[in-house]
Amino acid sequence: MKKYSGEPKKYDRSRKAVFRMLALFLITITVFSIAIAPPVLVLFAYFYFMKNLLFTILFLPIVLVLNFLLLIISTAGVTGGFIKIFHIAYEEGEYGKYITDNMTFKFSLYYTLYRPTDKLLKVFFIPPLYAKYLTLIGAKIGKHVFFGGRNNIADPCVTEIGPKTLIGGGASIFSHLGEEKLIIKKVKIGERCLVGAETLIMPGVVMEDNVVVGGKSLVTKNQVLKKGKMYGGVPAVEIKRGKDKKTEAE
């Protein structure tokens, strides 16, 4: 894991910082402009070729809905493809919070492309499509992983989820923290785990196989949840099941 040892600055107005901010803005505008081009062309073609006013009005709601679905797919494909082709995904480590740091620049660019797309994908939420997009932009997701919806996977490129795991609705997984430096640490979730609804998982967490975390729990930074155990609470602690209590009593 890379370490950042530089002194924190209040502001960075260097030429490099200004250039990177400009590049961040221009790349984001360009990528999203390409993404919305297909639905814009479809809408233009519809109004150009549909000469009958009655049919134009009658079919317009259907065309708009289908065009919105096309927008979602196009945006996911373009932003995901750009992240994958140009290797925008960032890595574990400790970095400066300023855009002059190479990894922090990658982090910023990744976020500006990923977050709006993530919001769009949740409008018509289809768990397999959502999982495919996360995989495209760097997440390691096993087979038959199910997302309950309203999930916040903040850092897909440093998130690993094993097969047959269920991530409950509203659960959030963070692999970064912004303190005096930018800290990025992978979250690993094993096979056949259950993450309860609205649970918050912090950077560096390791969930071994067959772990259950109750809803609305907080799994703190770098916490290791042992195989086959149940956890819950704020912060999450092990919950003894009936069989475990009986064994201890004996």
Residue 246 pLDDT greater than 90, yes or no: no
CATH of residue 140's domain is 2.160.10.10
What per-residue confidence (pLDDT) applies to 197?
Answer: 95
Say if 98 falls within a structural domain: yes
Are 131 and 141 in contact by the 8 Å Cβ rule? The answer is yes
Give the rounded distance of the alpha carbon of 204 from its chain centre: 16
Say if 127 falls within a structural domain: yes
Say if 223 falls within a structural domain: yes
Q: Where are the beta strands (DSSP E) in 34-129?
A: 93-95
Are 186 and 154 in contact by the 8 Å Cβ rule? The answer is no
Q: For residues 64 and 2, which has the higher predicted lDDT (pLDDT)?
A: 64
Prediction pTM value: 0.87
Say if 6 falls within a structural domain: no
Please name which of 95, 72, 78 lies closest in space to residue 27, comparing C-alpha atoms.
78
Number of domains in the chain: 1
The pLDDT of 41-53, averaged and rounded, is 91
Say if 93 falls within a structural domain: yes
- Altogether, the residues listed in the chain come to a count of 250
Instruction: Give per-residue pLDDT as tens, 180-197.
Output: 899 999 999 999 999 999
The pLDDT of 89-114, averaged and rounded, is 93
Say if 2 falls within a structural domain: no
The pLDDT of 54-74, averaged and rounded, is 93
In terms of residue numbers, what domain contains 177? 15-238
Say if 7 falls within a structural domain: no
| Mean pLDDT, all residues of the chain | 90
What per-residue confidence (pLDDT) applies to 240?
Answer: 83
| Tokens at 70, concatenated | 């096309």
b/e burial code for range 187-197 (CB count within 10 A of at least 16 → b): bbbbbbbbbbb
Residue 155 pLDDT greater than 90, yes or no: yes
Are 167 and 187 in contact by the 8 Å Cβ rule? The answer is no
Say if 194 falls within a structural domain: yes
Residue 236 pLDDT greater than 80, yes or no: yes
Share of the chain above pLDDT 70, in %: 91
Q: Is residue 172 very low, low, confident or very high in pLDDT (cuts 50, 70, 90)?
A: very high
Residue 97 pLDDT greater than 90, yes or no: no
